[in-house]
Amino acid sequence: MKKEVKKVQITPRRRFFTNIAQSASLGVMGGLIWAGYAEKAKGSTLTLRPPAALEEKDFLRTCIKCGLCAEACLHRESNIDKETLQPRPATLKMAQAQDKATLGTPYFIPTQVPCYMCEDIPCVPVCPTGALDVSSVTNEQNELDFSMMDMGLAVVDPNSCIAFWGIQCDACYRACPLLDEAITLEYGRNERTGKHAFLKPIINMDICTGCGLCEKACVTEKPAIFIQPRELALGKPGDHYVKGWDEKDQKRVASQTGKDMTTRTQRSEEKVTDYLNEEVSYD
Amino acid sequence: MINFSNYKYLILRRISQLSLLFFYFGANAYGWNILSGTLSSSLVLGTVPLTDPFAVLQMLAAGAVLSVDVLLGAVIIALFYGVIGGRAFCSWVCPINMVTDGANWLRRKLYIDKIERKIWVSRNLRYYMIVIALLVSFVTGMASFEIISPITILNRGVIFGFGAGAGLVVAIFIFDLFVLKNGWCGHICPLGGVHSIIGKYNFLRVAHTSEKCTLCMKCKDVCPEVQVLHMIGKRSESVIMAECTNCGRCVDVCDDDALEFDIRNYMKNNLEVTDENVN
């Protein structure tokens, strides 16, 4: 047999590693594209979820996309059109591929159909996975309590709200299911005319559930009051700001001890002069 | 004249697939509670939970805390297919099966099999897809196959209305028709892979009697997982490979009664092997 010097030997070992590399590269490439798409598909932070939904990150983990909440929403007892005896459109929609929310997850758009805050909250107990957490809308008497819902927070744009212009409008105030609690009217004197009153809607953010009935009722072309997810609508002052006048906030820091931060200078050695209460002589 | 005995299981399968979709649709449209939810997770008669075991695996990988209902539903499904059905989900339940069967039928009518340039893709790709799906779920913290699955898109589309997702169903049809024979169901779909694994040791199997076989090969023509029929005309044994979907198409088209559904007998199979060894 002739000996070929320059021919590369295709050994079984070389074949094995080449095949492994081929399969692995295909897997890695596919996996990266897939993961990239999945990150994008997590959707918009503006998505409004059903009542009692877990925090968005945990919600996306836990929701199995079965649609039982949307079906319960559509067939809720209070949703029958009295004229046709047919159910009206559901609040909860299952996201389709073109929607901004993650494919197959339930969400709602208040300007289309807001959440009517049913007393029996039919959409929540049907959830098989706990992505809609019954305990977050159950009160101390072990009853479902719709006032504990938290889908978002209403925000007023004072520049486009005509009540802030001085035109009388209390559409959102009257539409609110927690009337005079979640939205209150602040009365004020209209200095421009000198003889009219302002009736400005003010959101009480501890009570507002984000149902969106106010957004649906708003009379302006694009609603001047609208729902945003809480984490988007709210800021955060940080733990080190303490309300000195709030007993609850005081208790929060009662157990905390800070190190001595007093600035000491030469003058610190001298006695503090209580010049308001003691007689001070300025010689 | 159509001989209906050649379409028995095909008709039964279409009835099964369509009636499931019909009940799901009615649950949303008319408020029936025979079968509500979707194929991801359902409620039978408003009480018995059924859950897709693969969706549960992905949720676990994503770090979800699982509820009792979901786990119970997945156990019921796994037990049913594990003991009785085998991979029957793919051919008796999954709505995409109708799409890919349609593509296959058209493929045969247009002689595409005979003309096309063959692309070779490993049929084990689906098992790698399971691993990748679980890895991606772990990294992104979200059930990753559930956001691209044409199965749930088609299923939800029928129940809640389609939308742009219908494009993916069309893409699967075109892919199976012109690009790769049995491309989706027979090569890629990780859910099919999961059901192959779950149903590997089930009892209901197609059995072949080689003495009756006339080697017409009609069964191999219609079989979507043709590698499982390796014994045709050679040995009398059950179709025991995990990828058989128990669709019964081979039983339908066989004019010689050489293929029938039977209960897999583990003891008998072992005896046959010893007989051969003795001979």
Average pLDDT over residues A16-45: 88
Q: In chain B, where are the structural domains located?
A: 4-198, 205-278
Q: Is the dihedral of CA A99, A101, A102, A107 positive or negative?
A: negative
pLDDT band for position B142 (cuts 50, 70, 90): very high
pLDDT band for position B268 (cuts 50, 70, 90): low
Q: What are the tens digits of pLDDT across the range A80-117?
A: 878 887 778 899 999 998 888 899 999 999 999 999 99
Residues of A in contact with B40 (CB under 8 A): 64-66, 104
Q: What are the tens digits of pLDDT across the range A198-235?
A: 999 999 999 999 999 999 999 999 999 999 999 888 89
Quick one: which H or E segment has residue B259?
strand B259-263
CA B125 to CA B187: how far, in whole Å? 6
DSSP B157-226: HHHH--STTHHHHHHHHHIIIII-TTHIIIII-HHHHHHHHHTTT-SEEEEE-TTT-----HHHHH-TTG
The residue with greater pLDDT, A161 or A268, is A161
List C-alpha distances in Å: B137 to A99, B60, B64, B147, B192: 21, 9, 10, 10, 18
Average pLDDT over residues B169-194: 94
Q: What is the CATH number of domain B205-278?
A: 3.30.70.20
Q: Which of A12-16, B1-5, B163-167 has the lowest mean pLDDT?
A: B1-5
pLDDT over 60 at B263, yes or no: yes
**Residue B87 identity (one-letter amino acid):** R
How many Å lie between the alpha carbon of A63 and the closest alpha carbon of chain B? 9
Residue of chain A whose alpha carbon sits nearest to that of B165: A97
- Residue B262 phi, psi dihedral angles, 5° rounding: -150, 165
CA B216 to CA B207: how far, in whole Å? 17
pLDDT band for position B278 (cuts 50, 70, 90): very low
Q: What are the tens digits of pLDDT across the range B238-259?
A: 998 999 999 999 999 999 889 9
Average pLDDT over residues B23-42: 91
Q: Tell me what pLDDT residue B75 has.
A: 95
DSSP B153: H
Residues of A in contact with B156 (CB under 8 A): 65, 67, 94, 104
Q: In chain A, where are the structural domains located?
A: 38-151, 152-231
Residues of A in contact with B70 (CB under 8 A): 64, 128-129
Q: Which of A252-256, B44-48, B80-84, B129-133 has the lowest mean pLDDT?
A: A252-256
Rounded to the nearest integer, the mean pLDDT of chain B is: 90
Domain A152-231 has CATH 3.10.290.10: no
Selected residue of A28, A32, A65, A126 to mutate for chain B interface (largest B Cβ count, 10 A): A65
Residues of A in contact with B147 (CB under 8 A): 37-38, 41, 102-104
CA A102 to CA A130: how far, in whole Å? 18
Average pLDDT over residues B108-134: 91
The full length of chain A comes to: 283
